């Protein structure tokens, strides 16, 4: 069980998204969103997991882990796949989680993503946010958008990721991928320096703090297209999160700046299909004049009303997407209601 390549091959063959190794359990897979203990495999000891961990990290990563007690990094098995890895200490032992990153960069069409993403990623400037909870597929959506850009437009692209996941080769774009911790010290520092590297497009793996968000806004204001992710559930919450990270004295100014640079917020959730596998439901907010005005005035509670009535512009709220999937017999009503922040409204849509 200390042969990590065997376990990762098993993960790929069973089409699992994640592999968890912790004491004193057998290896655990997440398949179609469901945790499944591999009871036919023996339980892992602390020594087993330490042997696995130290076989896949560099000396520098080992030193960081022993100092910080946690570590994010990527790991590749030639011919199998790439993996995003997180290691941490729990109850005095090491716990490791592997997230599968397919070698092939996904396409918007293959993933059945909204077609409007193709139009959005070709915007010459502005800020596009892809949001959702951990594990909702934000990085995959960003990779698919970048893949479309790479095939259709000549640009200089710089990505800042923690860690680098999908590997993009240059097609029409020049793509430089920077790994936080290995290639740069932080998202904010990388963004600031990237502006001196003649970029057209900047991709920020996670807009997690004031410095990073401020640098992203500056980049968008100075004529760049910035794509970033947030751990927020819907469009109003995403806008509110960005405003709220700034000190109160700056928030009115940020509302004005954000109303000028925002181009779209795409929020997503992953739901089990009735037929097996999973499907993504989307909320899409586009920066129409009405949306920009509401952001500028801080009337975020009215955004959903505007989005709901602007389907002709390509907008939709999450409940509309969930209702369509239920009516199309793609997902169950129970699953849809569980994923909805406004279940009563969703039930109303289902009864129409």
Q: Are residues 186 and 38 in the same domain?
A: no
d(CA 281, CA 270): 6
Q: Are residues 174 and 314 in the same domain?
A: yes
In tens, the pLDDT along 122-179 reads 999 999 999 999 888 899 999 999 999 999 999 999 999 888 888 899 999 999 999 8
In a domain, 89, yes or no: yes
- pTM comes to 0.86
In a domain, 323, yes or no: yes
Name the packing angle between helices 210-221 and 187-194 (round to 10°).
Answer: 20
d(CA 8, CA 98): 8
Q: Are residues 131 and 73 in the same domain?
A: no
The pLDDT mean for the chain works out to 93
In tens, the pLDDT along 13-62 reads 999 999 999 999 999 999 988 899 999 999 999 999 999 999 999 998 99
Q: Are residues 216 and 337 in the same domain?
A: yes
Q: Are residues 34 and 153 in the same domain?
A: no
Residue 2 has a pLDDT of 57
In a domain, 326, yes or no: yes
In a domain, 28, yes or no: yes
Q: Are residues 72 and 195 in the same domain?
A: no
Say which CATH number the domain at 36 has: 3.30.450.90
In tens, the pLDDT along 72-89 reads 998 988 877 889 999 999
Q: Which of 101, 126, 159 is the last residue of a domain?
A: 101
Q: Are residues 142 and 285 in the same domain?
A: yes
Q: Are residues 232 and 322 in the same domain?
A: yes
Domains of the chain: total: 2
Say which CATH number the domain at 218 has: 3.40.50.300
Q: Tell me the residue range of the domain where 136 lies.
A: 116-350
In tens, the pLDDT along 174-202 reads 999 998 877 888 888 898 888 889 999 99
Q: Are residues 284 and 181 in the same domain?
A: yes
Q: Are residues 203 and 76 in the same domain?
A: no
Residue 33 has a pLDDT of 84
CA-based end-to-end distance of the chain: 54
In tens, the pLDDT along 258-276 reads 999 999 999 999 999 999 8
In a domain, 227, yes or no: yes
Q: Are residues 81 and 123 in the same domain?
A: no
Q: Are residues 120 and 260 in the same domain?
A: yes
Q: Which of 45, 66, 101 is the last residue of a domain?
A: 101
In a domain, 137, yes or no: yes
d(CA 43, CA 22): 9
In a domain, 111, yes or no: no
Neighbour-count burial for 79-107, b at 16+ CB within 10 Å, e otherwise: eebbbbbebeeeeeebbbbbbbbeeebbe
Using the predicted structure, report yes or no on whether residue 1 has a pLDDT greater than 80. Answer: no
In a domain, 220, yes or no: yes
316 bridge partner residues: 284
Strands (E), the chain: 18-21, 28-31, 34-37, 70-77, 81-90, 93-101, 126-131, 156-161, 174-179, 201-204, 225-230, 262-272, 278-286
Percent of the chain with pLDDT strictly greater than 70: 99
Residue 82 has a pLDDT of 87
Report helix, strand or coil for 170. Answer: coil
Q: Which of 46, 69, 101 is the last residue of a domain?
A: 101
């Amino acid at each position: 069980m200390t042969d990590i390549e065997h376990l990762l091959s098993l993960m790929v063959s069973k089409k699992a998204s994640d592999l968890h190794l912790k004491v004193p359990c057998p290896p655990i897979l997440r398949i179609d969103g469901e945790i499944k203990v591999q009871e036919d495999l023996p339980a892992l000891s602390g020594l087993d997991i330490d042997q696995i961990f130290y076989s896949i990290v560099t000396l520098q990563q080992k030193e960081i882990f022993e100092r910080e007690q946690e570590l994010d990094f990527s790991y590749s098995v030639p011919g199998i796949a790439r993996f995003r890895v997180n290691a941490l200490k729990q109850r005095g032992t090491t716990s490791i989680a592997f997230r599968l990153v397919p070698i092939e960069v996904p396409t918007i069409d293959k993933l059945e993503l909204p077609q409007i993403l193709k139009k959005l990623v070709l915007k010459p400037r502005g800020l596009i946010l892809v949001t959702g909870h951990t594990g909702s597929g934000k990085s995959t959506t960003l990779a698919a958008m970048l893949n479309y850009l790479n095939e259709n437009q000549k640009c200089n692209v710089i990505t800042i990721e923690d860690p680098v996941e999908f590997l993009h080769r240059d097609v029409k774009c020049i793509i430089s991928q920077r790994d936080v911790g290995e290639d740069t010290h932080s998202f904010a520092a990388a963004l600031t320096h990237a502006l001196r590297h003649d970029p057209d497009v900047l991709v920020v793996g996670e807009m997690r703090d004031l410095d990073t968000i401020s640098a992203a806004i500056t980049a968008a204001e100075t004529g760049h297209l910035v794509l970033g992710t947030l751990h927020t559930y819907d469009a109003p919450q995403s806008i509110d999160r960005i405003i709220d990270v700034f000190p109160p004295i700056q928030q009115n100014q940020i509302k004005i700046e954000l109303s000028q640079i925002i181009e779209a917020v795409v929020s997503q959730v992953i739901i089990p299909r009735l037929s097996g596998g999973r499907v993504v439901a989307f909320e899409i907010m586009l920066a129409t004049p009405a949306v920009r005005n509401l952001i500028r005035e801080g009337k975020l509670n009215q955004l959903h009303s505007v989005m709901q009535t602007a389907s002709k512009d390509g907008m939709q709220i999450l409940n509309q997407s969930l209702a369509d999937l239920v009516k199309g017999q793609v997902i169950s009503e129970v699953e849809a209601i569980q994923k909805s922040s406004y279940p009563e409204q969703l039930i109303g849509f289902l009864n129409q």
